[in-house]
Structure 1
Amino acid sequence: MTKRPLTILLANPRGFCAGVNRAIHIVEEALRRYGRPVYVRHEIVHNRYVVQSLEAQGAVFVEELDDVPDDRPVVFSAHGVPKTVPAAAEKRGMFYLDATCPLVTKVHHEAARHVLDGRQIIMIGHSGHPEVVGTMGQVPDGSILLVETLEQAETVQPTPGQSLAYITQTTLSVDDTAGIVAVLRRRFPDVEGPHKEDICYATTNRQQSIKAIAPRCDAVMVIGAPNSSNSRRLVEVAASSGCHRSYLVQRASEIDWSWLDGINRLGVSAGASAPEVLVDEVLEACRQRFEVTIEEISVTRETVTFKLPAELCT
């Protein structure tokens, strides 16, 4: 039976970013140095394949420090944690490693600086996301007002007379965030923003690469987890860039092949916490069903790397 032709436009950059690579390496190096088990508070990154791979090596994932024995190492996830978490670990005399992405730590420092300078903070982000919880937990309660939408930006009411600043979650839609910032600047002309945008380079680059391929595609498939903010934003960006048949899948086994009925050009990308092995798996599944031609579309080359914590470098 002759296979139908399918052209795949493969977005680049895609997949792992420097912060995700660093977080995974922290867990792997901790296992190598300290043996099994090493505990990890919350999913190290939002990807089940990654979590299960680390579990197979001896990592144990928990949601709270109460589930960690005093005598075993614990790693804090790449999303960051409230100040109360390392404080509790220190009180118990626990050995911990902080895998918070350095670009998230940058936002933590911004929040702390604004509070020291007497500013109230508006944070643009998604309620309940671990990164937002961690950032809001860097400062006293009430210091940060969370805004998720344009509508909330129009109605948020900071304390009258207090100076104001805004910060953002690192994994948001660049375009949506720009719209919210524009509203805040219109309503509060003196609001202080970050010296360098909080949305991280990897989020920005992956969204740019999706924008480059989406108008040329009949459908777009993003590989990533449903609880991965940056992956979900890629699906939204593809749709807003002209490809309304845009789907999020965790891996090839989840693909509904009816999505590709009548499709001649498929865009493929992956969120910053999705490993390249899952991209390869999807491409191979496509090859089994179609005569595939792959065209890689690159918008930039990433060279960013982050060092491991000092405790793992000696």
Structure 2
Amino acid sequence: MTKQKLTILLASPRGFCAGVDRAIHIVEEALRRYGRPVYVRHEIVHNRFVVEDLKAKGAIFVDELDDVPDGVPVIFSAHGVPQSVPAEAERRNLFYLDATCPLVTKVHYEAQQHWRDGRQIIMIGHAGHPEVVGTMGQVPEGTMILVETLEDVAKLEPADPEKLSFITQTTLSVDDTAAIVEALRARFPAMVGPRKEDICYATTNRQQAVKAIAGRCDALMVVGAPNSSNSKRLVEVAARSGCERSMLVQRASDLDWSTLADISVLGVTAGASAPDILIEEVLDAARTHFDVTIEEVTVTDETISFKLPAALTA
């Protein structure tokens, strides 16, 4: 039987960013140097496939330092941690490696500087996300206010409107964040912002790539995890940019391809913590059901890389 033709628009950039790549390499190099087990506080990145692969290699993932025994290395996840976490590790004389993405660390430094300058800090982000928890933990409790929506902006009552600053989570929707910043600036003209936007290059690039293909797609798949902020934002961006039939997919095996029998153009991208193997799984599965033609749509080339901690390179 002749297969139905399907054009796949493959967004680029997609998948792993430099911060995710660095974090995974930190765990792998620690295992190579120090042997099994190496403990990791929280998921190193938000992807179940990556976590299970590292578990198989000897990594043990825990929720808190209380679950880490003495005398073994521990790694902090790419999302960053409150200052209390390394302080506790030092109190216990634990050997730790910090896999926080350098672009998240940049936001941490901004928060600390704003606090030292006597400014109340507004953080734009999602409550409970590990990155937000880590960033809010860089300054004393009560000196940072979390804002998630325009409604939150309208209800803000800062201690001193003339001594305000803002920072953002690195994995937000670029457009949503711009609207919130605009509303904040309208209410608080004296507010100080970051010198360079906090939303990271990888988040911005992947959203731009989705915008470039969404209007041409009958459906669009984002390969990523349900707890991945940047992956969920890609689904939202696709829906707003011309492809309402956008979906988050963890693995090709999760898909019911019969629900896509009516489409002729499929967009495919992946969140910044999704490995290439999961994208290839989706493309291979598509080929079993359709006569596939792949068109890669590139909006920019990424050349950024981050160094491993000095303890792993000496």
* Shared fold (TM-score, shorter chain, > 0.5): yes
Report the counterpart of residue 175 of structure 1 in structure 2. Answer: 175
Report the counterpart of residue 12 of structure 1 in structure 2. Answer: 12
Matches within 5 A, 1:277-296: 277-296=277-296
Matches within 5 A, 1:67-146: 67-146=67-146
CA distance in 2, matches of 1:137, 1:162: 24
1:198 aligns with 2:194: no
Report the counterpart of residue 217 of structure 1 in structure 2. Answer: 217
Calculate percent identity across the aligned residue pairs.
73
CA distance in 2, matches of 1:30, 1:154: 47
Offset from partner CA, 1:103-144 (integer Å, 9 cap, x none): 000000000000000000000000000000000000000111
Q: Is the 8 Å Cα contact of residues 120 and 162 (structure 1) preserved in structure 2? A: no
Deviation at 1:261, TM superposition (A): 2.6
Matches within 5 A, 1:188-267: 188-267=188-267
Report the counterpart of residue 298 of structure 2 in structure 1. Answer: 298
Equivalent residue of 1:294, what SS?
Answer: strand
CA distance in 2, matches of 1:236, 1:261: 23
Deviation at 1:257, TM superposition (A): 1.8
CA distance in 1, matches of 2:126, 2:307: 28
Question: What letter corresponds to residue 57 of structure 1 in structure 2?
Answer: K
CA distance in 2, matches of 1:133, 1:263: 41
Deviation at 1:256, TM superposition (A): 2.5
Gaps of 5+ in 2: none
Deviation at 1:160, TM superposition (A): 3.1
Deviates more, 1:227-236 or 1:153-162: 153-162
Equivalent residue of 2:86, what SS?
Answer: helix
Deviates more, 1:160-169 or 1:106-115: 160-169
Equivalent residue of 1:303, what SS?
Answer: coil
Structure 1's 161 and 16: CA in aligned 2 closer, same or farther, altered over 3 A? Answer: closer
Offset from partner CA, 1:148-203 (integer Å, 9 cap, x none): 01111121111135500000000000000000000000000010010000000000
TM-score by length of 2: 0.99
Equivalent residue of 1:75, what SS?
Answer: strand
CA distance in 2, matches of 1:161, 1:273: 38
Question: What letter corresponds to residue 33 of structure 1 in structure 2?
Answer: R
CA distance in 2, matches of 1:24, 1:160: 42
CA distance in 1, matches of 2:162, 2:153: 17
Offset from partner CA, 1:65-87 (integer Å, 9 cap, x none): 01111110000000000000000
Deviates more, 1:232-241 or 1:160-169: 160-169
Calculate the aligned-residue CA RMSD, in Å.
0.7
CA distance in 2, matches of 1:91, 1:298: 48
Deviates more, 1:98-107 or 1:151-160: 151-160
Question: What letter corresponds to residue 19 of structure 1 in structure 2?
Answer: G
Matches within 5 A, 1:302-313: 302-313=302-313
- Kindly tell me the number of residue pairs found equivalent between the two proteins: 314
CA distance in 2, matches of 1:177, 1:227: 19
CA distance in 1, matches of 2:81, 2:161: 31
CA distance in 2, matches of 1:227, 1:158: 31
Deviation at 1:255, TM superposition (A): 1.1
Equivalent residue of 1:22, what SS?
Answer: helix
CA distance in 1, matches of 2:118, 2:258: 56
Q: Which runs of 4+ in 1 moved over 3 A?
A: none
Gaps of 5+ in 1: none
